[in-house]
Structure 1
Amino acid sequence: MAGPHRLRPEDRADFEAVLHLALSTADIRAALLADPTGQAARHLRTHALEAADEITAESGDSYDAYRAVRSSAPHGPEHPPSKATLLSALSVLTPLVAATSAAILLLLGYVLQLAEISGSLPASLVTAGWVLALIAAVSTLTALTALLRTALQQRGGVPSADRLEQARITWQQALLDRGMLPHLRRRISEDPLLRAALPKPSPAGPDDTVRHIP
C-alpha cells in the first residue's frame, strides 16, 4: 500500500511537524498522560516515524497533487536546477559554437583554395566547415523544438507560491486526518495502559487543524 506513495526525504520535516501536532491533540495528549514516565509518548512517536510510508499512503491523492504542483514550479525539488541549467546552456551554446567554427573553417578553406595552396588541407577545411554548419542547423532546430514543447507544457503558467503553499497545507491536513490521527489512536487502543484513558473521539476542532508549518 505504501509503495506508490513513499514519503520523500524532502518532506520528512513536514511529516514530523504533523506528527508533533497530532501528539498535541486533546484526546491523544490526555491518553498519554496515563503514563507519567513519558515512555508511551516516545514509543508512539518512534513507531509513527518508522511507519511513515504507511501513514503517508493514506493521504496519497493529496500527496500526489502536492508533488505535481511542486515539480512544475521553477527549481522544484523534483527538477534539480543544476540539471536544468546544464541542459539550457548546452542547447544555447552548441549551435553557437558549431556555427562559429563552421564559419571559420569555411573561410580558411576557401581562402586557401583561392590561394591555390596544394595538398588536401583546403578541401578538408571546407568539408569540416560544412559538417559543422549541418550540426549547427540540426542543433538549432532541436533547441527550438524543445523550447516550443516547454512552452506548450507550461501554457497553464508556472504555479504561484500561494498555489504551492495551498497544495502543501491540503496534503498536511489530509496526512493529519486520514493518516496520522487514525494511526496514533489505533496504536493507543492497542496499549492496555493507555486504552482506558483514551477519550471518545470528537469532531475535528481547532486542535485538529493543520496550522502553517514553515
Structure 2
Amino acid sequence: MADPLRLRPEDRPDFEAVLHLALTSTDIQAALGADPTGRATARLRLRALGDADETAAAARAEYGTYLALRTSAEPDQPPHPAAGSLLPALAVLTPLIAATSAAVLLVLGYVLQLTDTEGTLPGSLVTAGWVLTLIAGTSALLAFAATLRTAIRGGDGTARAARVQQARQNWQRALLDRGLLPHLRRCLREDPVLRPTPPLGVRTADPHDSRNATNPKEHPSHVGQPEQGPADQPQ
C-alpha cells in the first residue's frame, strides 16, 4: 500500500529548492571544496534526489499538516461554469434594467393621467412602473448581499491561504534541518574522494635496509680526510 504522505510530484520543486539551500550551507561547501572538479557536488545532488522519499520522511508530520491545509483550501469546482459566470452578470444588470424601465413607465403613466387620457392605459403604466421599481429594489438588495458574501469569503480565503503558506514554510524548514542536512553530511562522510586522509608521519629508517645503510666512507667524519695507506699507519 502506497504511503499517503509520500512526496508528491507537485512538491518536487520545493524539495529541489530546499536541496539547493542545503548545498550552499557553510559546512557542506567547505567539504565539497576538497574536490575542485565539481564531480562530488554532482554526485551528492543526484544521490539526494534519488533518496528524496526517504529524506522527506524525516519531516512527515509537517508535510501531513501542509497537505491537509492545502487540500482544505482548494476551491470547489462549480458544476455548471456557464451558469456560474451568468449569474453575476444578471445580478448587476437586473436592477439597472428594472429601474430604467420603471422610471419610463411611471413618467409616461403620470403624464397620461395629467392629460386626462381616458381608458385603463395610464393606470396600467403606473402599476407596471411601481412593480418594476419593487423588482429593481429587491434585485439590488440581493446583489448587495451576494457582494458582501463574496467579500467575506474572500477574506476567509486570504486567511486560509496564509495558514497554508505558513505550513509550507514549516515543512521546508523541517525538511532542511532534519532531513537534507543530516543526509548530505552522511553522504559526505561516505564519499571516498572527500574523506579526509590522515597526515603522513615521518618515515623511520630501517637499520637492516641496505638502501638506508650509511657508507662509512661517506660519514661526515671522513669527509675531507685522505685514506690511510699501509705506509701511513703508525708503527
Which residue does the alignment assign to 2:69? 69
- Which residue of 66, 76, 85 corresponds with 2:78? 85
Which residue does the alignment assign to 2:6? 6
**Percent sequence identity over matched residues?**
55
Q: Unpaired runs of 5+ in structure 1?
A: 76-80, 94-156, 198-214
Root-mean-square deviation over aligned CA pairs: 2.5
How many angstroms does 1:162 deviate by?
A: 1.6
Structure-2 separation of matches of 1:35 and 1:180: 21
Question: What letter corresponds to residue 196 of structure 1 in structure 2?
Answer: P
- 1:69-148 counterparts in 2 under 5 A? 69-75=69-75, 84-86=77-79, 89=80
How many angstroms does 1:4 deviate by?
A: 4.0
Which residue does the alignment assign to 1:55? 55
Structure-1 separation of matches of 2:166 and 2:48: 25
3-state SS of paired residue (2:173): helix
Q: Which has the higher Rg, Structure 1 or Structure 2?
A: 2
Structure-1 separation of matches of 2:5 and 2:194: 30
Kept in 2, the 8 Å contact 1:32–1:194? The answer is yes
Q: Unpaired runs of 5+ in structure 2?
A: 85-155, 198-235
How many angstroms does 1:168 deviate by?
A: 0.4
How many angstroms does 1:50 deviate by?
A: 0.9
Structure-1 separation of matches of 2:185 and 2:74: 39
Give the ranges of 4+ consecutive aligned residues of structure 1 lying more than 4 Å apart after TM superposition. Answer: none
- 1:166-185 counterparts in 2 under 5 A? 166-185=166-185
Structure-2 separation of matches of 1:160 and 1:5: 21
Structure-2 separation of matches of 1:189 and 1:73: 42
Which residue does the alignment assign to 2:219? none
Structure-2 separation of matches of 1:6 and 1:74: 20
3-state SS of paired residue (1:196): coil
Structure-2 separation of matches of 1:74 and 1:187: 38
Structure-1 separation of matches of 2:4 and 2:74: 24
Which residue does the alignment assign to 1:45? 45
Kept in 2, the 8 Å contact 1:5–1:56? The answer is no
Structure-1 separation of matches of 2:5 and 2:37: 35
How many angstroms does 1:177 deviate by?
A: 0.7
Structure-1 separation of matches of 2:160 and 2:176: 25
Which residue does the alignment assign to 2:33? 33
Kept in 2, the 8 Å contact 1:5–1:53? The answer is no
Structure-1 separation of matches of 2:59 and 2:12: 14
Which residue does the alignment assign to 1:196? 196
3-state SS of paired residue (1:185): helix
Q: Cα 1:186–1:3, aligned 2, differ >3 Å: closer, same or farther?
A: farther
3-state SS of paired residue (1:194): coil
How many angstroms does 1:195 deviate by?
A: 3.0
Question: What letter corresponds to residue 190 of structure 2 in structure 1?
Answer: E
Q: Which has the higher contact order (CA 8 A, sep 6+)?
A: 1
Q: Cα 1:5–1:61, aligned 2, differ >3 Å: closer, same or farther?
A: same
Aligned length: 124
- The CA deviation string for residues 46-80 of structure 1, in whole angstroms up to 9 with x for no partner, is 111111111111100000000111111133xxxxx
